[in-house]
Amino acid sequence: MSTSAGTARYLEIAEALRREILSGELPVGAHLPSESDLAARWSASRGTVRQAVATLAAEGLIGSRQGARRIVLRRERRHSFGELNSFAQWAEGLGHRAASRFLSRTRRPATAEEADRLALAPGTEVLAVLRLRLLDGEPTMVERTAYADWVAAAVEALPVDCRSVMDSLAEGSGVTAHYGEHLIDALPAGSEDARLLEIRRGSPLLRQRHVSATATGRPIEWSDDRYRAGSVTFSVSNSSVATPLERRVGDQ
C-alpha cells in the first residue's frame, strides 16, 4: 500500500469512529474496541488503526493512555491547535464569518515582558500590532501583538485586511506555530478598547494572553487579546489525558 493510500485509510477509520462517538452510538464512558478488533473490522493493519485512534485522542474524544482499552471521554470534538491558536480558523470551523483589520503596525523596542516572553535581549526591536477582529461583522476582539524581530518584515508585508497572520506566515514564509501557552483573566475596558468594541468604558472584557512558538520552541508572537463580554467563553474540562482548553461563541 502506498503512503498516500495508508494516510487516507487511517483518516477514513478515524472519521467513521468519530461519527459513532458524536452520534452517541459509542457513548461517553464506553470502551473503544481493541486495536485488533478495529483492524479486523476495517481489514487494516494495526499501525493504521493506531494512527486513527491517536487522531481521536488528540481531539479529546477518547482517552490517550497506552496499554489499556480506550474510553470515550466526550461527544464534542475538541479544537485543533490551529483553531485554538487562530481566531479565524476557530470562527470558520464553527461556521461563522471572521474578518480583521490592522489598525497600526509599529517597530519599537520590546518591553521587559515582551522581551521575556519572546526570548529576546532587552530592548530588541519588535513589531507592535494593533488589530480589530470581527465575528459575523460585529467587533469582537481587540488584539495587541508583539512579533519577534525575525518575523516582523513578513507581518508588515501582509494586507490590511489579512484574514489570519499565522496562516499567512505558514503559507508565505514557512513559519508555523506548534506550541502555545495561554493566560486568561478579566479587566475593564479602557478608552481605546471601548471605542473599538463599541462598548462603554469600564465594561468587562475577557482577556487571553498567549505566546506562540515554532516546533523548535522559538517564540513568534506574544499577544494580548481582549474580547467583548458575552462574545466568547473558554471551556476547561479537567482530564489527565485530554487537551483541556476550548473556546466557544458566547455562552454556549
Which residues are bridge partners to 62 per DSSP?
Answer: 72
Span 81-249: which CATH code?
Answer: 3.40.1410.10
Euclidean distance between CA atoms 105 and 83, whole angstroms: 24
Span 3-58: which CATH code?
Answer: 1.10.10.10
Query: Which of these, 130, 198, 191, lies nearest to 160 by C-alpha position?
Result: 130
Lowest mean pLDDT among 25-39, 76-90, 164-178: 76-90
Q: Using one digit for the tens of pLDDT, what is the confidence trace for 43-70?
A: 999 999 988 888 888 777 887 555 557 8
Which residues are bridge partners to 99 per DSSP?
Answer: 134
Query: What does the DSSP 8-state code read for residue 202?
Result: T
Angle between helices 3-23 and 35-42 (to 10 degrees): 110
Cell of 129: 500590532
| Sequence ranges of the domains in the chain | 3-58, 81-249
Q: Using one digit for the tens of pLDDT, what is the confidence trace for 176-222?
A: 888 888 899 999 999 999 999 999 999 999 999 999 999 899 999 99
Cell of 121: 535581549
Q: What is the pLDDT of residue 180?
A: 84
Q: Using one digit for the tens of pLDDT, what is the confidence trace for 115-133?
A: 999 999 999 999 999 999 9
Euclidean distance between CA atoms 175 and 178, whole angstroms: 10
Query: Which of these, 61, 34, 31, lies nearest to 50 by C-alpha position?
Result: 34
Lowest mean pLDDT among 1-5, 39-43, 102-106, 181-185: 1-5
